[in-house]
Amino acid sequence: MAVRPTQLRRALLQSPSRLRQTAPNTIQHPELQHLLSAAPSAFSSACPFSSTITTRTQNTPDYAVPNPSRPTHFGFQTVTEAEKVERVATVFTSVAESYDRMNDLMSFGWHRIWKDYFVTSLNPGFSPLTSGLDPRAPQHILDIAGGTGDIAFRMLQTAHVVNGNPDVRVTISDINPAMLTVGKQRSTLLPASQQAALSFVEANAEDLTRTAPLSPPGTRTPAPTSTIPDASVDLYTVAFGIRNFSNIPAALREAYRVLKPGGVFACLEFSKADAHPLLNTLYKEWSFRAIPLIGQLVAGDRDSYQYLVESIEKFPSQAEFRDMIVDAGFVVGGQGYEDLTGGVAAIHKGMKPRV
């Protein structure tokens, strides 16, 4: 649900002293005025905007620069960043055809509800900040690690049909051609107008300056021939993918680079249910005992499913990941995330400040 200016004004009226105490010198900041007067529809109304404006540093820190030889984790194993890229590619090539079934196993089917809610909260195709009277301005959405199209197809349905905005286009980017091929095949069931608004590119989310069009099955992947330019994207989404990246800080900075000022980064990912001990215990028992076994019985692939549950355990907590988003230069609202199903999954959002 979009944040309405009246809701923000009501919140300020209810606690003006608290706002003055926490942000005595930022009320006149143009970015804060912009956030308080007309919040983007891509932010949830459950989280009032924070008063802290974080600007990106000019120099990228070493840990946010991809390094093939730097140690990282692949599940519970320590590998190099280069090795993780190769191993993750093997996992998703293996599960590409059964991707929905995999997510059903890992979320009890809730991933479908979470994805619907995620897209509804972003409300693609409608922006109250658009100059002029019509809020249905053209939008470019970049769906990262979106190979099978689950998020992209929902985005187009909401934008084109619900919001009546045919000027929304979606680029689906994935490092894995097998996942993209599944998405391309599934897209043939979409209306022609939505198919025309889709494009598929092979790219590493940590370096979007090197992209290549999806090649036909059985052919060699072409060399990167294009780039996603600076400040060219209105909305960057990634769902159940970022935990598989070999260098998350690098990917977050690439998201910052390609987004327009005022553009939104939105991530849906498995997270931590630590605040609910019983739920957390039951979910971990299911994850580590049942999912790999079911993967072996149903898909003949225990190792891939074992990695996937381990990758959830290794992913940062909600607060830690929020801090990584802020460190990349984004402004976050409220606590910076929204828990789903007790924290089994979470939505994170950040906005690139307007200069």
User: Is 204 annotated for ligand binding?
Assistant: yes
* Greatest Cα pair distance in the chain: 64
Burial class (CB in 10 A: 0-12, 13-18, 19+), 109: exposed
User: Is 137 annotated for ligand binding?
Assistant: no
Is the Cβ–Cβ distance between 147 and 96 less than 8 Å? yes
User: Is 143 annotated for ligand binding?
Assistant: no
Q: Give kind and range of the element (H or E) at residue 281.
A: helix 277-285
Burial class (CB in 10 A: 0-12, 13-18, 19+), 312: buried
CA pair distance 236, 3, nearest whole angstrom: 19
List CB contacts of 273: < 8 A, sequence separation 6 or more: 279, 280, 283, 341, 342, 343, 344
The runs of H, that is alpha helices, within 108-157 are 110-122, 150-156
Residues in the annotated binding site for S-adenosyl-L-methionine: 148, 174, 204-205
Residues in the annotated binding site: 148, 174, 204-205
